[in-house]
Amino acid sequence: MDTAGALHYSSTSQDIKDVSELKHGEEFSQAERAALEGIVWRKLDIWILPLCAGFFFLSFLDRTNVSNARVAGLQTTLEMSNYQYTVAVTVTYLPYLAAEFPSAVLVKYVGPDLMLPTMVTLWGVVCASQGLVNGYSGLLACRFFLGLIEGGLVPGIVLYLSFFYPRKMLQIRVASFFVATSLSGAFSGLLAAAINLMNGICGKPGWAWIFILEGIFTFVFGAISFFLLPRSPEKARFLTEKERVYVISTLKNAGSVSEDDKNDGFSWTEVVRSVKSPHVWFLAVAFFFNGATLLGLAYFEPTIVAGLGYAGNQAQLLSVPPYAVTFVLSFISAKVSDRYQCRGYTVIFFSLLEVIGFTMFYASTSSRVRYGSLFCSVSGAYCAAPALITWMANNSAPHIRRATAVAVVFILSQMGGILATWLLGWLSPAPKYTSATITFIAMSVGIVVFATVNLVYLRRENRLKAEKRERMRKEEEPEGLGDRSAWFVYSL
């Protein structure tokens, strides 16, 4: 039965066995799966993805709107040098890094339904507070607490989605929330241009209203999400009991969650196993490079556009089209990657697109060509990221090993962002950004290299696992091996 046909089935169909029978471990029949397949994932997509995308959209918007505020006059009003502006951006990264690992570990035990909305609500207050500062020290304080509160959001969302979706379906869902970065890049320019028209209202400059209004909206969204975000498939009120059993059964069969919940408890042994895994470090290096290019563009793209000869609201508006194109490409690439299970090739393709974009920016003196190069570099950086994230989450199990791996790579990503901030903000003079552009070209090539190495390594591991499966039965294998089990096939 096709998906469209399955949507007409009711989850209470007589084709579906009584839930009490399923809890004893019986497999779903083909007819039962056909009846549930289209319904269950559609329900999860409707209830979960918009909230996760909203969280990430607001996170990126509230963290990077400082670049729009800079174009609107923040740096002039607070009498900041380029060095001081770079320090203000860097201050956000440091607590962000410190928060990622503990947040990734705690999200399952505190409960994502409490932890994620609390983070969103609190940083909304901090974001709005930036519009009330009168000096540089006040801005630094706000940027510090913004990073501290936001730090665990992205690892938290990635892990949260892995609680609900099997590995083969994860990238399109990760892309659905990660695409919010490109959407925030597009909307931040439009919103900043519109909000800047409030310049002078209540004695506040336009850049202050950018922080205040966007912070208030974040606070409201976070408060509402307390009542909407489900804790887990077992607690999802919009699913029937049969549908909950189906989701959990599918996750366990796919290796997305452990057969025994005890295997998902915290263990330093699992933390060590994660950091000793070669594929974690291959992707960690790729994340460092991708974090540098992506976050560099996120914080400085409006400034780069302004350096091409555009100013004020024109620069704000021209920062939008590269992100609009990226928004479309993100969905297309994620659909292809999920359909053909080609995480590594997706990373390589879009990293090569980055190489093209940064090379165009470096080699040309034409403002039009350099502006056009942003379509390649922004699309490459932003579309490679969801594939990298999903690739890591797919290939780490059980939960603590996955949480550790996700935290490690995101920490490296933010470290790359720190490097990019100093390259673009201080060490590489505008408008050519020569040193930064050369570095980004090398990093984009580096992503291709390490993604290729990881592909070769994982293919070799899968071959060895296949040989092992031929020599033994699953019952003969020790328990608790997680992704090292011969029956855990790595995603390529």
343-363 and 367-394 helices cross at what angle (nearest 10)? 160
- CA gap 184, 205 in Å, rounded: 22
Confidence at residue 13, expressed as pLDDT on a 0 to 100 scale: 35
Residue range 396-410, pLDDT digits in tens: 988 889 889 989 999
Q: What is the pLDDT of residue 294?
A: 95
Q: What is the mean pLDDT of residues 99-114?
A: 89
Judged against a pLDDT cut of 80, whether residue 378 lies above it is answered with yes
| Helix 153-162 with 367-394: angle, nearest 10 deg | 50
* pLDDT tops 50 at residue 359: yes
Listed residue (155, 125, 413, 430) closest to 307, CA to CA: 430
Q: Give residue-wise pLDDT tens across range 166-184.
A: 888 887 888 787 777 777 8
pLDDT in tens, 135-166: 999 999 999 999 999 999 989 998 899 889 98
Q: pLDDT at position 266, please?
A: 73
Q: What is the dihedral of CA 282, 285, 287, 292, to 10 degrees?
A: -160
Q: What percent of the chain has pLDDT over 90?
A: 65
pLDDT at 489 over 90: yes
Secondary structure in 3-state letters for the chain: CCHHHHCCCCCCCCCCCCHHHHCCCCCCCHHHHHHHHHHHHHHHHHHCHHHHHHHHHHHHHHHHHHHHHHHCCHHHHCCCCHHHHHHHHHHHHHHHHHHHHHHHHHHHHHCHHHHHHHHHHHHHHHHHHHHHCCCHHHHHHHHHHHHHHHCCHHHHHHHHHHCCCCHHHHHHHHHHHHHHHHHHHHHHHHHHHHHHHHCCHHHCCHHHHHHHHHHHHHHHHHHHHCCCCCCCHHHCCCCCHHHHHHHHHHHHHCCCCCCCHHHHCCCHHHHHHHHCCHHHHHHHHHHHHHHHHHHHHHHHHHHHHHCCCCCHHHHHHHCCHHHHHHHHHHHHHHHHHHHHCCHHHHHHHHHHHHHHHHHHHHHCCCHHHHHHHHHHHHHHHHHHHHHHHHHHHHCCCCHHHHHHHHHHHHHHHHHHHHHHHHHHHHHCCCCCCHHHHHHHHHHHHHHHHHHHHHHHHHHHHHHHHHHHHHHCCHHHCCCCCHHHCCCCCCCC
- The pLDDT value recorded for residue 201 is 96
Q: Give the per-residue pLDDT at 21.
A: 43
Confidence check: pLDDT of 2 > 60 = no
CA 206 remoteness from chain centre: 30
Q: For residue 370, what pLDDT is reported?
A: 97
Structure tokens at 234: 């077992």
The Cα 455–Cα 351 span in angstroms is: 15
Reported pTM? 0.82
Type of residue numbered 284: A
Lowest model confidence (mean pLDDT) among 164-178, 256-270, 292-306, 335-349: 256-270
> How far is the C-alpha of 277 from the C-alpha of 471, rounded, in Å?
24
> What distance in Å separates the CA atoms of residue 448 and residue 175, rounded to the nearest whole number?
20
* Whole-number pLDDT of residue 24: 38
**Residues 188-212: what's their mean pLDDT?**
93
- Token pair of 389, please? 């994230």
State the average pLDDT over residues 93-101: 91
At CB < 8 A and 24+ separation, what contacts does 7-15 make? 7/38, 7/39, 7/42, 9/34, 9/35, 9/36, 9/38, 9/39, 10/35, 11/35, 11/36, 11/39, 11/40, 11/240, 11/242, 11/243, 12/240, 12/242
pLDDT the model gives residue 259:
58
Q: Which residue has the tokens 């860097």?
A: 90
pLDDT above 60 for 388 = yes
Alpha carbon of residue 111 to chain centroid = 19
Spatial contact of 401 and 379, defined as CB atoms under 8 Å apart: no
Spatial separation of the C-alpha atoms in residues 81 and 112, rounded to whole Å: 40
What distance in Å separates the CA atoms of residue 183 and residue 193, rounded to the nearest whole number? Answer: 16
Give me the long-range contacts of 133-140 (CB less than 8 A, separation at least 24): 133/78, 135/78, 136/78, 136/79, 136/80, 136/84, 136/88, 139/78, 139/88, 140/87, 140/88, 140/91
CA distances from 198 to 7, 204, 323 (A): 48, 8, 25
In this prediction, residue 334 has a pLDDT band, given cuts at 50, 70 and 90, of confident
Q: How many Å from the N-terminal Cα to the C-terminal Cα in the chain?
A: 28
d(C-alpha 260, C-alpha 197), whole Å? 57
> Residue holding tokens 């790359």?
416
**Residue range 81-94: average pLDDT?**
93
Q: Find the mean pLDDT for residues 398-426.
A: 92
Tokens for 404?
């550790």
**What pLDDT is stored for residue 267 in this prediction?**
82
Over the chain, what is the mean pLDDT?
88
- Write out pLDDT tens, residues 56-70: 999 989 998 999 999
User: What's the pLDDT score for residue 11?
Assistant: 35
**With 50 as the cut, is the pLDDT of residue 435 above it?**
yes
Report, as an integer, the average pLDDT of 213-221. Answer: 97
CA 124 to chain CA centroid, Å, is 19
**Among 134-143, 164-173, 333-342, 386-395, which is the least confidently predicted range?**
164-173
pLDDT, residue 142, reads: 97
Binned at pLDDT 50, 70 and 90, residue 278 comes out as very high
- Residue 18 — very low, low, confident or very high, per pLDDT cuts 50/70/90? very low
The predicted-structure confidence for 242-253, as pLDDT tens digits, reads as follows 899 889 888 887
What is the mean pLDDT of the segment spanning 312-329? Answer: 89
**Taking a C-beta distance cutoff of 8 angstroms, is the pair 287, 388 a contact?**
yes
- The model's pLDDT over 68-85, given as tens digits with 9 standing for 90+, comes to 999 899 999 999 999 999
